[in-house]
């Protein structure tokens, strides 16, 4: 019988396909681990997003309970978590984790709420809202970054459910209503962090390269209220050095390298100006590796449980309250805590270190792995385990895992013409084609206005997907002939 030999051959071919589509070699066990982690994350969004408003709770217990009436967190919803929830419906639909019609209903209700009923200011939304009623909670600000993360979800469902006219229409209306120019509050380049009813605009502005790049890009490519492309080049690039690594990092928490990268596909792209030719995807890869090395080589001296497979700090809960911590350098309040979404949100960047880390956390500390995946944080030194999960931390882990496995979140989001247009306007172009010729030019001025006529080159991801499809067809026809 030729069957076993045929199996071996098709397995080899299959692994080539996996390698091509995911950009990383994932074993069956890796996929099983990620499938379970992602499914639990989806479960969080499914169970804790309000059916009427679509608003997602900011946090719940790891066991699934929501904050009781009368408590501080009761019905507190986060619009950023609601953006991640929308993406989770695309992933669930694609992976058949829930009924398509129920996912569509939830998505439609969410968009209907934000398009027609949610309080807003020039299209921008409050950071915290009541999940049931949508009213402003905790005297929160109208938030530019949180609205941008919500828009990430809105534009993702616009593409993944593009056959649904109502979804497309409402998603378009929500994005096109956002007045990005208003959020400049008179500045030429830097958007404000937000606005409050009491104090008007917040004084702080988005001046650094950090988690908000999608906010800037969505503003630059807005069909209705676009701001100047110069915003991109006005962002400060704050370089840090660790050993032989040099990378941009305004602050130590890892999430600043993750959020916008879950939507915008920065892979294989560089700017084409003489002074700017950063590969931002690679920058996030380096930031992840630096953090792992710093824990394994430096912090493990003080906390021996830290190792190459047990590390990670990014903004999270701690035994001592919420902390915006990270590394390097060492945060003075570091106490041995591990934050799983540090590695989780970087699955798409450095799976060779983040995946073994998460798998080993689950194996060694099974009590930290609950209904929605990992507890937000835990401390192996004291055996403190956070009782909560946070929507945005569950969300970034889910999106990063899916991008690692299939690149689908990138593919859906980047199918929006505005996402492509944004990269074109700031001249973040495909490395392989455009950059080499432009960079080779000897008389590059130090700053050059983007040439708006440059045509967008095909991204490497879509090229990969297409060649994978061709390879699949080839294998299928080969199998057919063998049989
Ligand atoms: C919300 O929708 C889900 C899925 O359609 C359903 O299972 C659940 O019972 C609904 N919850 C409420 C409170 O209506
Ligand atoms: C907005 O986009 C248009 C069309 O591409 C462009 O001509 C205009 O300069 C942009 N506005 C700003 C403020 O940059
Ligand atoms: C740590 O705490 C968990 C419960 O939160 C318990 O199941 C586990 O046995 C504890 N581990 C140690 C080493 O005490
Ligand atoms: C651009 O690079 C040139 C030298 O290569 C330098 O003199 C100039 O200051 C740089 N400009 C900026 C904005 O960094």
Q: pLDDT (tens digit, 9 = 90+) per residue, 155-202?
A: 999 999 999 999 999 999 999 999 999 999 999 999 999 999 999 999
350 pLDDT exceeds 50?
yes
Whose tokens are 């190459």? That residue is: 308
Q: What is the CA 380 to chain-centroid distance, rounded?
A: 27
Name the band, by pLDDT with cuts 50, 70 and 90, for residue 436: very low
State what percent of residues in the chain have pLDDT above 90.
82
pTM for the model stands at: 0.86
Q: Whole-angstrom Cα distance, residue 361 to residue 379?
A: 11
Q: Is the CB of 458 under 6 A from ligand 4?
A: no
Q: Is the CB of 367 under 6 A from ligand 3?
A: yes
Q: Which atom of ligand 4 is nearest to the CA of 275?
A: 1
Please name the residue whose Cα sits nearest to atom 14 of ligand 3. 383
pLDDT at 442: 33
Please name the residue whose Cα sits nearest to atom 4 of ligand 4. 446
Q: Are 404 and 410 spatial neighbours (Cβ–Cβ below 8 Å)?
A: no
Residue 320 three-state SS = coil
Tens digits of residue pLDDT in 35-91? 999 999 999 999 999 999 999 999 999 999 999 999 999 999 999 999 999 999 999
Task: Name the percent of the chain in helix, strand, coil, to the closest 5.
Answer: 50, 10, 40
Looking at 49-163, list the stretches that DSSP marks H as alpha helix, in order from N- to C-terminal side: 79-94, 100-112, 144-160
Domains (range + CATH), the chain:
3-482 (1.50.10.140)
Picking from 302, 370, 364, 367, the residue whose alpha carbon sits closest to that of residue 335 is: 302
pLDDT at 478: 40
Picking from 374, 398, 394, the residue whose alpha carbon sits closest to that of residue 58 is: 394
Residue 298 three-state SS = coil
From 380, 383, 385, 386, the mutation candidate for ligand 3 (largest count of ligand atoms within 8 A of CB) is 383
**Cβ neighbour number for residue 350 with a 10 Å cutoff:** 21
Contacts of 8 (CB under 8 A, 6+ apart): none
Q: Which atom of ligand 2 is nearest to the CA of 228?
A: 14
Q: Is the CB of 437 under 6 A from ligand 4?
A: no
Q: What are phi and psi of 9, to 5 degrees?
A: -60, -45
Mean pLDDT confidence for 425-451? 55
Ligand 3 centre to CA of 383 (Å) is 6
pLDDT at 23: 53
Please name the residue whose Cα sits nearest to atom 11 of ligand 1. 51
**Cβ neighbour number for residue 252 with a 10 Å cutoff:** 22
* Cβ neighbourhood burial of 436 (10 Å; 0-12, 13-18, 19+): exposed
Nearest ligand atom owner, CA of 101: 1
Mean pLDDT confidence for 287-295? 98
Please name the residue whose Cα sits nearest to atom 7 of ligand 3. 367
Name the band, by pLDDT with cuts 50, 70 and 90, for residue 273: confident
Which residues are 338's β-sheet partners? 378
From 51, 66, 75, 108, the mutation candidate for ligand 1 (largest count of ligand atoms within 8 A of CB) is 51
Q: Which atom of ligand 1 is nearest to the CA of 98?
A: 4
């Amino acid at each position: 019988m030729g069957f076993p030999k045929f199996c071996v051959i098709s397995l080899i071919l299959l692994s080539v396909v996996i390698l091509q589509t995911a950009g990383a070699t994932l074993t069956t066990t890796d996929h099983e681990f990620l499938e379970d982690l992602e499914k639990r994350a989806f479960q969080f969004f499914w169970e804790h997003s309000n059916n009427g408003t679509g608003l997602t709770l900011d946090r719940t217990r790891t066991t699934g309970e929501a904050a009781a009436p009368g408590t501080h967190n009761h019905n507190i919803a986060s619009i950023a978590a609601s953006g991640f929830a929308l993406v989770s419906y695309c992933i669930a639909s694609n992976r058949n984790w829930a009924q398509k019609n129920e996912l569509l209903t939830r998505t439609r209700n969410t968009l209907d709420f934000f398009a027609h009923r949610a309080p807003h200011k020039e299209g921008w939304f409050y950071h915290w809202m009541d999940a049931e009623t949508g009213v402003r909670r905790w005297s929160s600000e109208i938030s530019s970054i949180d609205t941008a993360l919500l828009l990430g979800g809105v534009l993702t469902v616009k593409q993944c459910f593009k056959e649904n006219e109502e979804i497309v229409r409402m998603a378009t209306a929500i994005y096109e209503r956002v007045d990005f120019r208003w959020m400049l509050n008179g500045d030429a380049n830097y958007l404000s962090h937000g606005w409050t009813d009491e104090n008007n605009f917040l004084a702080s502005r988005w001046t650094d390269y950090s988690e908000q790049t999608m906010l800037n890009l969505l503003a630059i490519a807005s069909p209705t209220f676009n701001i100047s492309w110069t915003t991109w080049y006005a962002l400060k690039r704050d370089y840090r050095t660790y050993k032989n690594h040099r990378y941009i990092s305004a602050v130590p928490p890892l999430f600043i390298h993750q959020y916008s990268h879950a939507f915008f596909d920065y892979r294989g792209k560089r700017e084409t100006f003489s002074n700017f030719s950063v590969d931002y995807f690679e920058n996030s890869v380096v930031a992840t590796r630096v953090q792992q090395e710093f824990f394994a080589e430096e912090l493990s001296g003080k906390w021996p449980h830290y190792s190459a497979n047990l590390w990670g700090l990014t903004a999270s809960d701690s035994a001592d309250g919420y902390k915006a911590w990270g590394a390097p350098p060492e945060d003075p309040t570091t106490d041995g805590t591990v934050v799983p979404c540090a590695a989780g949100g970087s699955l798409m960047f450095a799976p060779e270190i983040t995946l073994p880390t998460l798998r080993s956390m689950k194996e060694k500390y099974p009590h930290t792995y609950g209904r929605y995946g990992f507890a937000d944080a835990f401390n192996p030194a004291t055996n403190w385990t956070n009782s909560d999960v946070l929507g945005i931390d569950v969300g970034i882990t889910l999106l990063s895992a899916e991008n690692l496995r299939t690149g689908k979140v990138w593919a859906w989001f980047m199918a929006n013409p505005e996402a492509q247009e944004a990269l074109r306007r700031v001249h973040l172009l495909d490395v392989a084609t455009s950059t080499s010729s432009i960079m080779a030019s000897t008389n590059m001025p130090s700053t050059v206005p983007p040439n708006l006529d440059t045509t967008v080159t095909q991204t490497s991801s879509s090229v990969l997907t297409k060649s994978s499809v061709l390879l699949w067809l080839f294998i299928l026809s080969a199998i057919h002939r063998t049989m």
